[in-house]
Amino acid sequence: MRCSRLKKTEMGLFLALGSVTILFLFFILHMTTPTCQLPKERLGTPTPLAPQAAPTRPPPVPCQANDSIATQPDFAEQPEHVRNFLLYKHCRDFQLLQDARPDKCAQPVFLLLAIKSSPSNYERRELLRRTWARERAVRGLRLRRLFLVGTAPNPLEALKVNRLLAMEARVHGDILQWDFHDTFFNLTLKQVLFLQWQAARCAQASFFLNGDDDVFAHTDNMISYLQGHDPNHHLFVGHLIYNVGPIREPWSKYYVPKIVTLKEAYPAYCGGGGFLLSNFTIAALYRASGILELFPIDDVFLGMCLEQEGLQPASHSGIHTAGVHVPSARLSSFDPCVYRNLLLVHRFLPYEMLLMWDALKQPGLTCGKLTRIN
């Protein structure tokens, strides 16, 4: 489970940054021909644009709501997102609106970053592309990136943002977008669709980082850590959560009423902000996800899939999806020395990612002394 998102001050900065970028994008969009062919050189992309993969099958017929669920007692009094979850939880076949660049997994990938992002989180994706999620080779091991998105539930917003995502897909080839509403209770659906895509299209990757777009991931450290592991053995590590169960308080973001599950305990799972897993384990999750009914909290659902396969999640001390404990009052919570040995920390603002990535890359980073970022 994740904690509340942005604070007010952070939100202000984020919005200011965001509106400038969006204005710029709109300027570009409206300056182009009606077919939306973008002038490639203006976006400064270094690689030639790959053509989109041809659709391999006709779009699925829209999934019908299961109205028989609505006859259950208690259904009518549930919040709208719970009712939507119940009505559509049997739906798993959605059109892929944007596919990854066809060569994404053409050569063996050592670490594939599968980052859940909301359609409108353009700034976050841009910063990640320039920082820890930059596609590169680390000591000869290939790192590749994908953003997993759905569609904006508001139709007007969706029209606009779908154009943005089409553009990002053309320029970067790193968008997987499916035609379902990108809401909190549909994150499990997003996860399951990614497992399907991975099994069909990227089965040759060794390891995966599955996480959110508001984390800071030290991907160089992750690769060092993963080099000591066998992709054909079980690995599922993150911020381990156990001995918890459904929250029955309707005001909570994580509210799961009895109409969804009567169970009072969740299996152990890793916080969804970010966790690492092997090729072996992702195949097991894919199998289990085809058997189990969807559960609205995505990270708990993966815990259920592991349990179904007789596998356990494990804790990694370098993964902090609930914030980081700063060891001394003399160190700022933003000191790169706090982060240089960590793998992943939750909730960073876009500009903080940039500063932190830059600071960690400084050859002269000396820790042990008090260091400052200028």
Interface with ligand NAG (CB under 6 A): 66, 68-69, 81, 84-85, 88, 90, 180-181, 183, 185-186, 203-204, 206, 231-232, 279, 283
Nearer to ligand NAG, 158 or 353 (CB): 158
Nearer to ligand NAG, 121 or 206 (CB): 206
Tell me if 161 sits within 8 A of 152, measured CB to CB. yes
Query: Which amino acid does the sequence have at 342?
Result: L
Tell me if 211 sits within 8 A of 275, measured CB to CB. yes
Nearer to ligand NAG, 84 or 131 (CB): 84
d(CA 149, CA 157): 14
d(CA 303, CA 271): 10
For CA atoms 224, 229, 235, 239, the dihedral sign is: negative
CB of 82 to ligand NAG, least distance (A): 8
d(CA 307, CA 82): 25
Torsion angle in degrees (nearest 10) through CA of 67, 70, 71, 75: 170
Nearer to ligand NAG, 246 or 318 (CB): 246
CB of 230 to ligand NAG, least distance (A): 8
Nearer to ligand NAG, 231 or 303 (CB): 231
CB of 191 to ligand NAG, least distance (A): 13
CB of 259 to ligand NAG, least distance (A): 10
d(CA 163, CA 22): 12
Nearer to ligand NAG, 192 or 215 (CB): 192
d(CA 235, CA 225): 12
Nearer to ligand NAG, 17 or 259 (CB): 259
SS3 26: helix
With residues binned 3-state (H G I as helix, E B as strand, rest as coil), the percentages for the chain, rounded to 5, are 35, 15, 50
CB of 366 to ligand NAG, least distance (A): 38
CB of 344 to ligand NAG, least distance (A): 22
CB of 282 to ligand NAG, least distance (A): 8
Tell me if 200 sits within 8 A of 172, measured CB to CB. no
Nearer to ligand NAG, 129 or 287 (CB): 287
Tell me if 356 sits within 8 A of 334, measured CB to CB. yes
d(CA 192, CA 204): 18
Burial of 325 by CB count in 10 Å (0-12 exposed, 13-18 middle, 19+ buried)? exposed
CB of 253 to ligand NAG, least distance (A): 13
